Every structure is written in structure tokens, then in C-alpha cells.
């Protein structure tokens, strides 16, 4: 019997390491792959020592850890160059979005284009039947379509980041740790003697040092970052900002305003290079428009759909009605106001643990 071949995306972390181990145990022919995605400017500017503490799944240390795990498991490991694709699809998009007063989610963009499009092409070249990652999510086969669902460990669930997966990607992707808790994953790693068993999770965006978006944009953008006015909702100038790329909707700290009560960024006006602030109540909204909508696990509906909706990864799910409006767009009307609806972020629709779909917030 010919063994099914799996291309295992190895980030050097405990989740992808255990995913590869579980697949090998099940009898798959596993090939470990780590993606080299940093453009030369970022890669060459930092020493190996700096890589040890920066870059998460994209660092030189990550490659070393992934290779060490593969050696321990007795499977081959390769590092593949995705620098150009990552720069064009993720980094350039990140810069463009911020300069246009939007707040993107580069992890979703990376999953959609790099992992579940470009890496699947590489799987074809290597004769692999499946692609596997260490994401905490699950895939089931419904009556007609493959379905993306939440993981068993709700605190670690990553289905929000995966909603753009199409049916072909769902059909050919495996999430071996999606049915485990994080605690169980670490326990398996320890039993296998993997050195990454206690490795901390990467929390920051891999290509931005110290999570300093403004500094990264100032250094990377061809457009100069210009200071400008901060207005209140009545149009009164109350301060000066450092550049709109340093701000995002809902932001409280870093505005430099001191009036005895907190102020929040409620709008970024690119045309006038201005930031508008208000009180907490001014951050609330009940409706949004989303574009580039993907219906992940169901056929595109022609009528309004009731769903639980998240407007960012860390937000709570809120009851809402999602109404298709043509051109892969929807309007979302919330049952109760939600805080800081942010253009550029993704909104994801759920029914129970099923991911119905999602899109990018336009307004």
C-alpha cells in the first residue's frame, strides 16, 4: 500500500512539530518544510543572535528548531524560498493598507496566499497529497462541502485566521492538533523528547521588530510619514499626531492627549492627514460593510443570514444579521453596538463552531 505524502509546514514551534509527529505516527510519508519569507533587507540587517529573539515563525532560530525536530522524528526537512511572494502579498499590502488609513491583518493574508495557495502549489511539485499545519482548527466533510470549524481548545482556536480557505484548500489540508488542547500538545512533545516542548508561542507579527508598526512603516514606506492635526468630533483641534500610520481605530494610548478623561481614535482621515478622537461611547457602532467576502463552508447565500460575528481575533462574538449585497460584499447589522469597527480588519461569521465565512471590513 502506497503511503500518502504530506507536506508539513514547520514553524519551529511546538504545534507544527507535534502535527508532523502525529502524522508520521499515523503512517503518512511526511516531509517537513520551513518557509524562508524575509526579504534580504530584513534578513541581512539582523544577526543570528537577533534572530533568536525576533521573528517567531520566520526567524533563523525557527529554521534550526524545525530541522532539529525533523531529525528527531526521522523525516526530511527543507527550507523553501518564498521571499518574493511574501513581500508582494503580505509586506507590501501591509504598508499600503496602513498608509491608506486601514489596519490589515497580515497573518490572514499570509494564510490565504502563501500557505494555502503557494505552499499547496509546492505540495503538488513534491507529489504530496496533503498540506499540514499546526493551526488550532478542524476540517470536517459535510453533505456537500468541506467545513472549517473551531478547535477543541477554544482559547487557542485559530479559525478566525483561516476563513479565506477555499474548498480545494480545505480538501487537501490537515490540522492534526486541532482536536487537542494546547496542554495536550505540549505533553505529547515532551513524551517525544522534542526540545520545543516548552517553547513560547510567537505573539508578534514576524516581520515587525518589537511590534513597532510606526517605525517599520517609516523605514519601509516610500511615502514620508507626516505629522498632522488631531481633532475632536466637533472639529476642534486638540493636538498633533506623529503620522497616521502610528494610529488605529479604538486606540487609547499614544495619542499624547491629557484632558482628565480618556480619548480614543474613532476615525483616521487620510485625505486631510488627520486623526479624529472621541470618548468611549463614540467608538460604538451597529453596522459595517465588508468586501472580498469568502463563504468558507456554505454556498453563498442569497438572503440575510443570522450569525455570531467577530470583528477582530480578540473580540467576543456578537449576534448579527449578515446580508449579501453583491460583488462579494455584505452588510452586517449587529444586535447590540460593538466597539471600534476597524477598516482593514477581518470580520468572520460563525454558526456554532462552524465558520460560515468572512471578509475585510470596508467601512
Q: Give the distance from CA 164 to its chain's centroid.
A: 11
Question: Among this protein's residues, is 110 annotated catalytic?
Answer: yes
Which of 57, 58, 107, 206 is the catalytic position?
206
Q: How confident is the prediction along the chain (363 residues), in pLDDT tens digits per residue?
A: 567 999 999 999 999 999 999 999 999 999 999 998 876 555 554 434 444 444 456 566 788 999 999 999 999 999 999 999 999 999 999 999 988 889 999 999 999 999 999 999 999 999 999 999 999 999 999 989 999 999 999 999 999 999 999 999 999 999 999 999 999 999 999 999 999 989 888 766 777 777 777 778 878 877 778 899 999 999 999 999 988 888 899 998 877 777 778 899 999 999 999 999 999 999 999 999 999 999 999 999 999 999 999 999 999 999 999 999 978 999 999 999 999 999 999 999 999 999 999 999 999
**Domain encompassing residue 342:** 284-361
For residues 284, 157, 162, 110, the Cα torsion angle rounded to the nearest 10 degrees is: 90
Task: Find the angle CA(8)-CA(122)-CA(291) to the nearest 5 degrees.
Answer: 90
- Within a domain: residue 81? yes
Which of 57, 58, 70, 110 is the catalytic position?
110
Do 19 and 133 share a structural domain? yes
Please state the pTM of the whole predicted model: 0.92
- Within a domain: residue 124? yes
Number of compact structural domains in the chain: 3
- Within a domain: residue 74? yes
Do 136 and 37 share a structural domain? yes
329 to each of 45, 112, 302, 347, how far by Cα in Å? 41, 18, 12, 12
Do 234 and 197 share a structural domain? no
Do 197 and 131 share a structural domain? yes
**What's the N-to-C CA distance of the chain in angstroms?**
54
Do 330 and 299 share a structural domain? yes
Do 192 and 104 share a structural domain? yes
CATH number at residue 251: 2.30.30.280
Question: Among this protein's residues, is 58 annotated catalytic?
Answer: no
CATH number at residue 301: 2.40.30.10
Do 236 and 194 share a structural domain? no
Do 267 and 137 share a structural domain? no
Nearest to 314 by CA among 338, 286, 279: 338
Coil, helix or strand for 125?
A: helix
Q: Which of 162, 184, 210 is the last residue of a domain?
A: 210
- Within a domain: residue 301? yes
Do 199 and 100 share a structural domain? yes
Do 261 and 198 share a structural domain? no
- Within a domain: residue 219? no
4-21 per-position pLDDT tens digit:
999 999 999 999 999 999
CATH number at residue 108: 3.40.50.620
- Within a domain: residue 92? yes
C-alpha cell at 207: 516581520
- Within a domain: residue 221? no
Do 322 and 241 share a structural domain? no
Question: Cβ contacts of residue 97 below 8 Å, gap of 6+?
Answer: 103, 104, 344
Q: Which of 184, 210, 236 is the last residue of a domain?
A: 210
Residue 274 DSSP label: E
Do 108 and 35 share a structural domain? yes
Coil, helix or strand for 222?
A: coil
Amino acid at each position: 500500500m502506497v503511503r500518502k505524502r504530506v507536506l508539513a509546514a514547520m514553524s519551529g514551534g511546538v504545534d507544527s512539530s507535534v502535527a508532523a509527529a502525529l502524522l508520521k505516527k499515523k503512517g503518512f510519508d511526511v516531509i517537513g518544510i520551513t518557509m524562508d519569507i524575509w526579504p534580504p533587507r530584513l534578513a541581512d540587517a539582523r544577526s543570528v543572535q537577533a534572530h533568536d529573539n525576533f521573528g517567531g515563525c520566520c526567524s533563523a532560530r525557527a529554521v534550526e528548531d524545525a530541522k532539529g525536530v525533523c531529525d528527531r522524528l526521522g523525516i526530511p526537512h527543507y527550507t523553501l524560498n518564498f521571499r518574493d511572494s511574501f513581500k508582494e502579498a503580505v509586506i507590501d499590502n501591509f504598508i499600503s493598507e496602513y498608509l491608506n488609513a486601514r489596519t490589515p491583518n497580515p497573518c490572514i493574508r499570509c494564510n490565504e496566499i502563501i500557505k494555502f495557495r503557494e505552499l499547496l502549489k509546492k505540495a503538488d511539485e513534491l507529489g504530496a497529497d496533503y498540506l499540514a499545519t499546526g493551526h488550532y482548527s478542524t476540517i470536517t466533510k459535510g453533505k456537500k462541502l468541506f467545513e472549517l470549524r473551531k478547535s477543541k481548545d477554544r482559547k487557542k482556536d485559530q479559525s478566525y485566521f483561516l476563513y479565506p480557505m477555499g474548498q480545494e484548500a480545505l480538501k487537501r489540508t490537515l490540522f492534526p492538533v486541532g482536536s487537542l488542547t494546547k496542554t495536550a500538545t505540549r505533553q505529547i512533545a515532551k513524551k517525544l523528547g522534542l526540545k520545543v516542548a516548552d517553547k513560547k508561542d510567537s505573539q508578534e507579527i514576524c516581520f515587525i521588530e518589537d511590534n513597532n508598526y510606526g517605525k517599520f512603516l517609516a523605514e519601509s514606506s516610500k511615502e514620508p510619514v507626516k505629522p498632522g492635526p488631531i481633532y475632536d468630533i466637533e472639529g476642534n483641534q486638540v493636538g498633533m499626531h506623529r503620522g497616521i500610520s502610528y494610529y488605529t481605530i479604538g486606540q487609547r494610548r499614544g495619542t499624547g492627549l491629557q484632558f482628565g478623561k480618556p480619548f480614543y481614535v474613532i476615525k483616521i482621515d487620510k485625505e486631510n492627514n488627520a486623526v479624529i478622537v472621541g470618548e468611549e461611547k463614540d467608538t460604538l457602532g451597529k453596522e459595517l460593510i465588508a468586501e472580498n467576502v469568502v463563504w468558507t463552508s456554505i454556498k453563498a447565500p442569497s438572503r440575510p443570514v443570522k450569525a455570531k460575528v467577530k470583528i477582530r481575533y480578540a473580540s467576543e462574538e456578537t449576534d448579527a444579521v449578515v446580508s449579501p449585497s453583491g460583488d462579494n460584499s455584505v452588510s452586517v447589522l449587529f444586535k447590540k453596538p460593538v466597539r471600534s469597527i476597524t477598516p482593514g480588519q477581518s470580520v468572520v461569521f460563525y454558526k456554532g463552531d462552524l465558520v460560515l465565512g468572512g471578509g475585510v471590513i470596508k467601512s
